[in-house]
Structure 1
Amino acid sequence: MANGQSALLLQRQLQELTKNPVEGFSAGLAEDNIYEWDVLIVGPPNTLYEGGFFKARMTFPETYPMQPPKLRFISKIWHPNVYESGEVCISILHPPGEDRWGYEEASERWLPVHTVETILISVISMLSSPNPESPANIEAAKEMRDDYPAFKKRVQRIVRDSIESCYD
């Protein structure tokens, strides 16, 4: 898909989200760049992340939707499927095709049918159901498995900090 077509597709997705907001997140352009979006994800109800406000940046390649965007939390977050850098590690954000390590089916990886909405719903699902078996953050996964009370306490502190930073 040519550069202009990917920009038009992203513009349509932005208009759709503006007209029909989805509960749990908001998204908009970062500095008028159609390939850079600021995202605010609200921690999902009935999870450790409930009530938190997590800022993230979604960066789209000019080859979107043939290739996936990258999503990186700017807010501090402690989660087995988020690298220390804040980059989210979920199957649908992995490049399309077969997984050379054999962990994922091609159907679980990026497909051009995904939209900003489906990506962010997947991230909210990831917050609700961490996968410590395939961790990006090994320390968080280990703490979640071996010392759940400490993991829970750390996440609760991060949620509190995220709420306070919204009022700064």
Structure 2
Amino acid sequence: MESRIHKEFNDFTSNSIENCSIEMQSDNSFIWNAAILGPLETPYEGGYFFLRITIPEDYPIKPPNVQFTTKIYHQNINPDGKFCSYHCFWKDNWSAAKTIRGVIEYIIDLLKNPIADCNADHNFDDINDTEKFKRTARIWTQRYAM
């Protein structure tokens, strides 16, 4: 299993995702840190968002645990940086054929296209006001991700 983790890491670093970097924690290959540049034409544009990826001992049978460590205002991510588990493919539809690269690609897509019916934080008062939501997300990006 650890050889798969190293293979995935090496594959990722040799063929990286645009505007994304990843590093393995030096003392623990089961913990990765990723940085994603907010996608263009989103409220997250220009922000740097950091993620912690914790790989379980029984990976790839079980999915990695992924959490934003940068504060982000997003309807599918709660204030602790955890994802709405209803739609996240690594929770509900995980298979051993999926990879951490695929998880990161999914997260980038989620920043561009939030899932409307998956509200991770039910305290958003502007969830139905798209423009207000985008304004708040931009403010949080400028405040916490720059």
> Partners in 1 of 2:66 and 2:82 — Cα distance?
6
Matches for 1:64-79 after TM superposition, within 5 Å? 64-79=59-74
Q: CA deviation at 1:78?
A: 0.8
Deviations 1:87-134 (A, max 9, x none): 123421215xxxxxxxxxxxxx11111111111000011111111312
- 2:94: which partner in 1? 110
What is the number of equivalent residue pairs in this alignment?
Answer: 144
> Structure 2 unaligned runs (5+)?
none
Q: CA 1:83 to 1:163, structure 2 compared with 1: closer, same or farther past 3 Å?
A: closer
Cα gap change, 1:80 to 1:163, in 2 (>3 Å)? closer
TM-score normalised per structure 2:
0.90
Flag as ranges the 4+ runs of structure 1 deviating above 6 A.
none
Q: What's the secondary structure of 2:51's corresponding residue? A: strand
In structure 2, what is the equivalent of residue 143 of structure 1? 126
The structure number with the bigger radius of gyration is: 1
Q: Deviations for 1:10-65, whole angstroms, at most 9, x for unmatched residues?
A: 10111111211111311111243111111101111122212211011000101000
Q: Do structure 1's residue 94 and structure 2's residue 91 form an aligned pair?
A: yes
User: Which is further off, 70-79 or 42-51?
Assistant: 42-51
User: In the alignment, residue 7 of structure 1 is paired with which amino acid?
Assistant: E
Identity %: 28
TM-score, scaled to structure 1: 0.79
